[in-house]
Amino acid sequence: MAALPTTGELKRTPLHALHLRLGARMVEFAGYEMPVQYPSGIIKEHLHTRAAAGLFDVSHMGQIVLRARSGHLEDAAFALETLVPSDMLGLPLGRQRYTLFTNETGGILDDLMVSNRGDHFMLVVNAARKAVDEAYLREHLSDSCAIEPLSDRALIALQGPQAESVLAEVAPEVRTMSFMDVRTISFFGVDCGVSRSGYTGEDGFEISVPAKSAEALCEALLHNLAMAPVGLGARDSLRLEAGLCLYGSDLDETITPVEAALAWTIPAVRRVGGTRAGGFPGAETILKQLADGAARRRIGLKPEGRVPVRHGATLYRAEHDAAPVGVVTSGGFSPSLNAPISMGYVPCDLAKLDTRLFADVRGKRLPVKVSALPFVPTRYKRS
Amino acid sequence: MLKYTNDHEWLRMDGDVATIGITPFAQEKLGDLVFVELPGVGMKLSKGTVAATVESVKAASDVYAPVSGDVLAVNEKLTGEPGLVNADPTGDGWLFKMKLADVAELDTLLDERAYSALTTSH
């Protein structure tokens, strides 16, 4: 057997002791000691999330408060729009939006969630990127904005068709929230920031809770048998089924939003002809790609057999071609479909549904078919 | 009596034929298996070369030939039921059988006590 993972000197989340009590297997992830799975295992945790509800510790992610020095949120919105291609000025109070930090060549520095919290924006960024993102925000926005990373807060995700009913037992008002709504809600007298969103394709919530109250809140939620703890292993298989990108695998500094099939994050107002067209890093490249198309595109892939086709596998137009035409960026096994699934990048002429390609796995060329994303229908609670 | 490798494989000897699998420790570390790639029957394997690949939801891990020899049989049941390796790693979840080229290679393997010391130090 190849080397098995071990843990070294790592940061811990406020839920570390709870994970150990629940029997989690802990692994290193982005400098943190995180639960990859609990005793029931990745497949059961995954299927339980789709059938009932899962509780995920995502406290390793960065929570950053962005506040205009002028006191006017509008000034923070203008500032943020110099770094992202989305509409921040038009983000209503109590709403969340998915966006991207782009670089000068049109690549992606990180993907993030931004919420309008009235007197500030709340940014949730990837764990592995939070130090970079914070430095980047300070470098570019310090003149107009105060940047405050929240280090004393846990972030808990509740995902699945029963997430609402479990959370509503503690705070009934969550039922009135729609997909991408954000509110302050009190659980057991503790104010928390709650968004109706997540990273599984299911309906659900993310709760930003003070570190000292996180464990008690999780324990209360886990008393409900519909709610089971779910580790990072199933979080990854759930997001892949939902066709959602993982930064560092499906997105990086060389991939543009258009190539990544994330052009929907760029509204008309930021495109050519819009009142605030461009003005974000790499705008020239990205706006040109929006008009003319990009050379490659992110697609879903279904391997024809049982062999998972994973990150890094090269893709070929014909079985015996020497030169690859694309690459798999995420791949694994879908517990919901009981079959392997992957995502990757191919030239646009090969991105049509049902195009047959070949993937190299351990020296063998295996047939794969371009497939629609998401692999499993999403079930967001839209208003 | 099982023999073990540092790489978390076990061997059960019957004359000069070894049945080989991964240890309970290894299957637990890997988690739910979703695919097992087995060697071809008749293949000659040298000690330390890749003999099989076990794939969990998260990752693919190579299984090395713990000794040199010819592959005599593989566990075809794992094609449809890779989870047998999780459920019964040293029984129904065996991977393949080899006819040993050099019985002296067995001396390089760990006994139960040495292997158990290896896994408790993790």
A233/B31 touch (CB, cutoff 8 Å), yes or no: yes
What percent of chain A stands above pLDDT 70? Answer: 98
Tell me the average pLDDT across B18-45: 96
A1/B56 touch (CB, cutoff 8 Å), yes or no: no
**According to DSSP H, which parts of chain A are helical?**
16-21, 42-51, 73-81, 130-141, 163-170, 211-222, 232-241, 283-292
How sure is the predictor about B21, in pLDDT bands with cuts at 50, 70 and 90?
very high
B57/A5 touch (CB, cutoff 8 Å), yes or no: no
Q: Go through the domains of chain B in sequence order and give each one's CATH number.
A: 2-102 (2.40.50.100)
Tell me the average pLDDT across A35-58: 97
Our CA-based measurement puts residue B33 at a distance from the nearest CA of chain A, in whole angstroms, of: 9
Tell me the average pLDDT across A242-268: 98
ipTM for the predicted complex comes to 0.88
Q: In the predicted model, is pLDDT for residue A255 greater than 80?
A: yes
In chain B, which residue's Cα lies nearest the Cα of A335? B57
CB A150 within 8 A of CB A65: yes
In chain B, which residue's Cα lies nearest the Cα of A310? B59
User: What is the CATH architecture of A295-375?
Assistant: Beta Barrel (2.40)
B31/A307 touch (CB, cutoff 8 Å), yes or no: no
In chain B, which residue's Cα lies nearest the Cα of A27? B29
Instruction: Tell me the C-alpha distance between B62 and A17, whole Å.
Output: 33
Tell me the average pLDDT across A33-47: 97
Distance of CA A209 to the CA centre of its chain: 19
Tell me the average pLDDT across B13-27: 96
pLDDT at residue number B1:
82
Q: In the predicted model, is pLDDT for residue A2 greater than 80?
A: no
What is the overall mean pLDDT for chain A?
A: 97
pLDDT at residue number A126:
98
Tell me the average pLDDT across A357-363: 97
CB contacts, 8 Å: B35 with chain A: 306-308, 333, 340
Q: In the predicted model, is pLDDT for residue A168 greater than 70?
A: yes
Tell me the average pLDDT across A115-142: 98
B31/A335 touch (CB, cutoff 8 Å), yes or no: no
Superfamily of domain A16-57+152-241: Probable tRNA modification gtpase trme; domain 1 (3.30.1360.120)
What is the overall mean pLDDT for chain B?
A: 95
pLDDT at residue number A33:
97
B34/A233 touch (CB, cutoff 8 Å), yes or no: no
Q: In the predicted model, is pLDDT for residue A252 greater than 90?
A: yes
A308/B32 touch (CB, cutoff 8 Å), yes or no: no
Q: In the predicted model, is pLDDT for residue B70 greater than 80?
A: yes
pLDDT at residue number B120:
85
CB A185 within 8 A of CB A174: yes
- The full set of domain ranges for chain A reads 16-57+152-241, 295-375
Q: In the predicted model, is pLDDT for residue B110 greater than 70?
A: yes
Our CA-based measurement puts residue A65 at a distance from the nearest CA of chain B, in whole angstroms, of: 33
Q: In the predicted model, is pLDDT for residue B77 greater than 80?
A: yes
Smallest Cα–Cα separation from A65: which of A163, A141, A161, A157? A141
pLDDT at residue number A192:
98
Distances from the Cα of A190 to the Cαs of A14, A176, A208, A214, A222, in angstroms? 16, 19, 11, 10, 18
pLDDT at residue number A8:
57
How sure is the predictor about B58, in pLDDT bands with cuts at 50, 70 and 90?
confident
Query: Tens digits of per-residue pLDDT, A307-317?
Result: 999 999 999 99
Instruction: Tell me the C-alpha distance between A304 and A315, whole Å.
Output: 14
Q: In the predicted model, is pLDDT for residue A241 greater than 60?
A: yes
Amino acid identity of residue A123, one-letter, is L
Structure tokens at B8: 């978390």
Our CA-based measurement puts residue A332 at a distance from the nearest CA of chain B, in whole angstroms, of: 6
